[in-house]
Amino acid sequence: MGEALTVNIGTIQGGTAPNIVSDTCIVQGEIRSDRHGQALAQWEDIKACFQQAGDAFGVTLSLSHRFGCIAYEIPKEAAVIARAERGCRA
């Protein structure tokens, strides 16, 4: 995935008994990145993979996502960084 990006599948749920094809399956996962655009691009890749697999097996997908937080970066030259550095030296 890369140094600043992680993807994990936390749970896969479905079915009511062993060895029976389930009518539903719920997959929950997480994407973490220090760059919001990178996380969004990874989500699009994951959706495409699930859609391709769904199409191959003739299933209907319902995909959704939510943001726990939005990554951002403050440039090193920003005034707030200079203030923080001065505060640390005091």
HEC string for the chain: CCCCEEEEEEEEEECCCCCCCCCCEEEEEEEEECCHHHHHHHHHHHHHHHHHHHHHHCCCCCCCCCCCCCCCCCCCCCHHHHHHHHHHHC
- Report pTM: 0.75
pLDDT reported for residue 61? 93
In whole numbers, what is the pLDDT of the chain averaged over residues? 91
Q: State mean pLDDT over 4-14.
A: 94
pLDDT reported for residue 90? 82
pLDDT reported for residue 1? 56
pLDDT reported for residue 81? 93
Find the range with the poorest average confidence among 11-15, 21-25, 50-54. 21-25
pLDDT reported for residue 4? 86
Q: State mean pLDDT over 49-78.
A: 92
